[in-house]
Amino acid sequence: MSQLFPRSANRIARLTLIGLALAIPLFIGLWALSLQSPNNTGMGTAVEQPIAFSHEIHAGRLDISCIYCHTTAETSPFAGMPSTQQCMTCHSQIVQGLPDVEALAASLQQNIPIEWHRVYNLPDYVYFDHSAHVNGGIACETCHGRVDQMSVVSQAVPLTMDWCLSCHRNPTPNIRPVADVAVMGWQPSANDQAAATPLEQYAINTMHLTDCDICHR
């Protein structure tokens, strides 16, 4: 009986199977990396706003606390955005005449709020509570980075599930006194280092911080 396939067919078949065995995990690995790339997470992308509000000036040079503008960060799941009225408490007196300040004044006079653009967007299936983090001593810059050095704010962290879980597994390095959560570039003093461990101080139990229903409700 004549041979249907040449002897090399066995070698080709083996190489094909080996190639598939290597290609599948390689494809999965590349796919996983692409999910965490800045192009997918938005990390590092500066978001232009309708008014050129500079955190570098307000939070940096003027040392205005994050909580002054984001007033509900301590009491609500949402940090909140400052109203035009709040902005104009200062700008009705200072740097008048600038185009952006004039736009603020027009917004107040016409009762049309400024439509600020979100920088951080979590999926609808993710629950995040600002007040729980702020009152647990998690600093603003842990998630938002050094906004005092940003003229135009960009997303400072990837916000991937792995990134969030890394903090939930070991939150201690990101915890500081509640009074200092909005302080940029904070460093612990000798008294802070001698105080009780942060987990004891804020009664944080890490046992259930990685449970699914903590973030998915």
- Please give the Cα distance from 137 to 215 (Å, whole number): 18
CB-based burial label for 134 (10 Å; 0-12, 13-18, 19+)? buried
Q: What is the pTM of this model?
A: 0.78
* 4 half-sphere exposure, CB direction, 13 A CA radius: 1
Q: What is the pLDDT of residues 93-150, one digit of tens each?
A: 877 788 999 999 999 999 999 999 999 999 999 999 999 999 999 999 999 999 999 9
Judge whether residue 188 has pLDDT over 80. Answer: yes
pLDDT of residue 34: 59
End-to-end CA distance of the chain: 68
Judge whether residue 3 has pLDDT over 70. Answer: no
Q: Residue 8: pLDDT band by 50, 70, 90 thresholds? A: low
Q: Residue 42: pLDDT band by 50, 70, 90 thresholds? A: confident
- Our CA angle for 194, 200, 204, nearest 5°, is 140
Judge whether residue 1 has pLDDT over 60. Answer: no
Angle between helices 99-110 and 84-91 in degrees, nearest 10 = 130
Non-local (6+) Cβ contacts of 14 within 8 A are: none
- Please give the Cα distance from 68 to 64 (Å, whole number): 7
- Please give the Cα distance from 135 to 168 (Å, whole number): 15
Non-local (6+) Cβ contacts of 54 within 8 A are: 151, 152
Q: Show the tokens assigned to 61.
A: 């040079």
Judge whether residue 185 has pLDDT over 80. Answer: yes
